[in-house]
Amino acid sequence: SYSWVASPQQKQEKKGHLRYNPLRDSWVLVSAHRMKRPWAGQVEKPPEEHIARYDPSNPLCPGNTRANREVNPNYDSTFVFDNDFPALQPDAPDPGSDQHPLFQSKAARGVCKVMCFHPWSDVTLPLMKRHEVVKVIDKWAELVEELGATYTWVQIFENKGATMGCSNPHPHCQVWASNFLPNEPALSDRCQRDYYQKHREPLLLQYAKQEAEKKERVVVESLDWLVVVPYWATWPYQTLLLPRRHVLRINELTTKEREGLADIMKRLLTKYDNLFEVSFPYSMGWHGAPTGTYLNEDNSHWQLHAHYYPPLLRSATVKKFMVGYEMLAQEQRDLTSEQAAEKLRNLPEEHYKTKENSEKEEEMKKSK
């Protein structure tokens, strides 16, 4: 009789092994068997599910006064303003060149902006209409075009949820532009350049083709976009959002691609929320080719992409901690990318809140 024998790869996935991250030239320790251990550690407070649509004390709401006494306009779409407490300033002084090699510093110049996605505080990107998300993408592109004309790097990022240190539930992101290339994009730039010089093809373009064929780590996909749990993922349900064609920066996306991006973002973020039926916390951000003086250079090795880093591991209240070994030795994860992708892929694309509202409406109709 036939007896099933696990392949070496299947055996490996149940044991500890290392996976290479070509975007960071580093290795990740995968320890899937650790998911079986009992949990008696910290439990997070579940995100607040009942948020007021308008809060007169919220500085991000339309018509309200912020900390610097500026009054927000009664905006009905996106709204961008200069961060009232910026980490970067355009007039930072130059410390000079007479420095000890062990005590070096440079001028860090730039601007920091806040961008509200929507006038309502009780919506998030997956619950917004597609045309509303397109307006967010259009504004991102506009800011990269505007700030990138002057600054080397324009970082768009969103911290969602108190678990990720976000102090305000109003849907918003931040945009920091700097006169220097920060550590993470500088490392990514080097790795993508090295790969391109060896293979004459952008690293992430080839990676997207490989993942689209393999399917095992694909979460959602469309004609223009692909979302995967990357082979080298560190965070439990980390994903990588990629265009299928070669694109350097977000402002180069066509109208069709921006509409498709709005769709794929809504699908991904709906699955995130549906995983534990909670407004899923994460930090996300866009990486594209550097700007400023780099606009005059060949950046063919770059490929536009977005990273999503959600911390939740076992439930809405238990998150992954990057401490101890991760801080002192190397990154480690507790389930394989394939397991995470399968869980996300099999979730419905109807948001749990939309489903609940539909069910309530049906019950009301029956009771009449």
Residue 154 in contact with residue 175, Cβ under 8 Å?
yes
Q: Give the span between the Cα atoms of 289 and 298, in whole angstroms.
A: 10
Residue 98's pLDDT is 87
Other CB atoms within 10 A of residue 357 CB: 11
- Could you list the residues known to form a binding site, using ranges: 34-37, 67, 83-84, 159, 165-167, 174, 320-321, 325-326, 332
pLDDT for 193 equals: 98
| Cα separation, 181 vs 306, whole angstroms | 17
Tell me how far apart the alpha carbons of residues 80 and 172 are, in angstroms, rounded to a whole number.
9
Q: How confident is the model at residue 34 (pLDDT cuts 50, 70, 90)?
A: low
Give tens-digit pLDDT for 10-28. 555 567 899 999 999 999 9
The confidence score (pLDDT) of residue 10 equals 52
Question: In this predicted model, what pLDDT tens digit does every residue of 148-195 receive, in sequence order?
Answer: 999 999 999 999 988 888 889 999 999 999 999 999 999 999 999 999
Question: Given this model, what pLDDT does residue 96 score?
Answer: 87
Residues 129-141 have a mean pLDDT of 98
What is the pLDDT of the chain when averaged over all its residues?
Answer: 91
Does the structure show a pLDDT above 80 at 262? Answer: yes
Residues 330-368: pLDDT tens digits?
A: 999 989 999 999 999 999 999 999 877 766 666 666 666
The string of pLDDT tens digits covering residues 195-247 is 999 999 999 999 999 999 999 999 999 999 999 999 999 999 999 999 999 99
Indicate the pTM of the whole model.
Answer: 0.91
| Structure confidence at residue 50 as a pLDDT band (50, 70, 90) | confident
If 0-12 CB within 10 Å is exposed, 13-18 middle and 19+ buried, where does residue 23 land? buried
How would you classify residue 173: left for phi > 0, otherwise alpha for psi between -120 and 50, otherwise beta?
A: beta
CB atoms within 10 A of CB 125: 22
Percent of the chain at pLDDT above 70? Answer: 88
The mean per-residue pLDDT over the stretch 92-102 comes to: 90
Residue of 285, 208, 293, 294 whose CA lies nearest to 246: 208
- pLDDT of residue 37 exceeding 70: no
Q: Is the pLDDT of residue 46 over 80?
A: no
Residue ranges of the domains in the chain?
Answer: 64-92+105-355
| 328: CB partners within 8 A, 6+ apart | none
Give CA–CA dist 273/160, Å, rounded. Answer: 12
* Mean local confidence (pLDDT), 126-145: 98
User: How far apart are alpha carbons 305 and 355 in whole angstroms?
Assistant: 31
pLDDT score at 1: 38
Closest CA to 11 of 43, 39, 27, 33: 33
Q: How far, rounded to the nearest angstrom, does the alpha carbon of residue 12 sit from its chain's CA centroid? A: 29
CA angle 105, 288, 307 (to 5 degrees): 95
Distance CA 161, CA 312 (A): 11
Q: Are 141 and 261 in contact (CB under 8 A)?
A: no
pLDDT at 62 over 60: yes
pLDDT, residue 3, reads 37
Q: What is the mean pLDDT of residues 113-140?
A: 97
CATH number for 64-92+105-355: choose from 3.90.1150.10, 3.90.45.10, 3.40.50.150, 3.30.428.10: 3.30.428.10
Q: What is the CA radius of gyration of the chain?
A: 22
Q: What is the pLDDT of residue 42?
A: 54
Closest listed residue to residue 140, CA positions, set 292, 287, 273: 287
Highest mean pLDDT: which of 1-10, 95-104, 226-235, 309-318?
A: 226-235
State the catalytic residues. 172
Looking only at the bridges linking them, the beta strands covering 312-315 and 318-319 are: antiparallel
The percent of the chain in helix, strand and coil, each rounded to the nearest 5, is 35, 20, 45
Known binding-site residue numbers for UDP-alpha-D-glucose: 34-37, 67, 83-84, 159, 165-167, 174, 320-321, 325-326, 332
Whole-angstrom Cα distance, residue 169 to residue 331?
Answer: 30
Cα 252 from Cα 255, distance rounded (Å): 10
Residue 2 predicted with pLDDT over 60: no
Q: What is the pLDDT of residue 163?
A: 84
Paired residues of 284 in beta bridges: 158, 308
- d(CA 38, CA 31) in angstroms, rounded, equals 15
The per-residue pLDDT for 6 is 40
Q: In what order do the strands lie in the sheet with 332-333?
A: 17-21, 26-30, 332-333
